[in-house]
Amino acid sequence: MNLGDILSGPSNILPEMQAANRWDAIDELIGNLVSTGKIKPENREAITAVVKKRETSMSTGIGFGIGIPHASTDLITDVVGALGRSKKGIQFDALDNQPVDLTVLFLVPQGQFQKHLHTLASMAKLLHIKEFRTELSQAPDAAAIYEVIKKYSTPK
């Protein structure tokens, strides 16, 4: 599964995140998944707790201005995700101690360990492409960001 598959369209992209730290970023992206119907409102708190618990064990700020908070939960049936971009940077306790400007939050159904690993690996690989990150940062809005993601996510 690649980033283009997980984001079902521009509605799951926040081009101007307001969060200042990783906890607010997680809340903001989960709020997007609730508002777009990817997560049931009654499951919001439980899912937020699972993602934050995972983040507490080790920051998912992987360097290069990237954060990939993620978790498994039995409260969803398909992989879901949202992407946020921050112009001012988010304090994420990243491995390189730099602020994060691209945050991809994704959730995998409980028990799908291989899918979880493959999804995380494909995202990290994609986000390490400098040209991809540059194009994402320069895209004017969610629709343009989604087009960049589709361009890079499509097998060549």
Residue 57 identity (one-letter amino acid): S
CA 27-107-57 angle, 5° bins: 70
CB 15 within 8 A of CB 142: yes
Residue 54's Cβ-side half-sphere holds a number of Cα atoms within 13 Å equal to 19
Rg (C-alpha) for the chain, rounded Å, is: 14
Instruction: Please tell me the distance from the alpha carbon of residue 119 to that of residue 108, in angstroms, as a whole number.
Output: 9
**Residues near 113 by beta carbon (within 8 Å), at least 6 away in sequence:** 72
Q: Report residue 12 as tokens.
A: 């799951």
**Residues near 117 by beta carbon (within 8 Å), at least 6 away in sequence:** none
Catalytically active residues are 70
